[in-house]
Every structure is written in C-alpha cells, then in structure tokens.
Structure 1
Amino acid sequence: MSNSEEQERNSDGLSPAQRLEPPNSRLINAGIVTIHDMETLRACVAYENANQQRVRILRQLKQQADEIRSQD
C-alpha cells in the first residue's frame, strides 16, 4: 500500500465521537469496522473509556484491533 493510500484510510475525517455516538447501532458498527489503523482505534477506545464505557462497544473495538493486527 502506498503512503497516500494509507493516509486516505487513516484520515477519513470522523472523530471518535462521530464514530461512537450516532443515533443507531448500525451506524456505530459501521464506524467501528471502517477503522483501519491503530491510532484511530486507540482514540476511539480512549473516547469510549472517558465517556460511556459500554462493554459491547469496547468488545467490538477489541475485535477490530485483533483484525488490524492480523493484517499486519
């Protein structure tokens, strides 16, 4: 993957709040599965821990982290 492709994937413009606070669970799921880098994932985990601490969301973030690690 070229550097420009990686930057595009890493900078989709969504903040952790936008990923984790949409009005329905399908959008939350979509926000999580479209995380492709550990930096964004860590920011989302930190946001969730600082705010709502939802176990289901944290579990999904962990699964996404495992997926990202398996691709490296």
Structure 2
Amino acid sequence: MAQKTIEVQGMTCGHCKSSVEGALSALDGVNEANVDLEANNVAVEYDESKVDASSMAEAIEDQGYDVVK
C-alpha cells in the first residue's frame, strides 16, 4: 500500500471531512482516507495498481474542494 498526503483548500467542518473521506473511500483501491481539518489535508492509503493521484484529486474536486497541486 502506498501513502499520500493531499493538500485540500476549502474544508472547514465535519461535513467537509465526511464528504472528502467518503468520496475517496468510494474509489476502488483506496484503503483509508483521513482528513485533518487543521492542516487542510487528507492522508490516503491506497493501492497504486488500482488508483492514481489524479483520480483522487478529481474525486475531491467533484465534492467542491480545491486540491493544491
């Protein structure tokens, strides 16, 4: 399993946390997603053979948040 921390702007509350974690967890290959609201990021544990960083960024952006690239 690979790990990646993705910086996300616009998350401010528990609903934001749930939206981002839910969107990432729904992707095939994502094992775990943990949002840190204070740090404005999400730590993701995933299978590199099933999902890539651009797919994860797209899932976050589809929820209305900005991924810092």
Q: TM-score, normalised by structure 1?
A: 0.33
Higher helix share: 1
More RCO (CA 8 Å, sep 6+): 2
Q: TM-score, normalised by structure 2?
A: 0.34
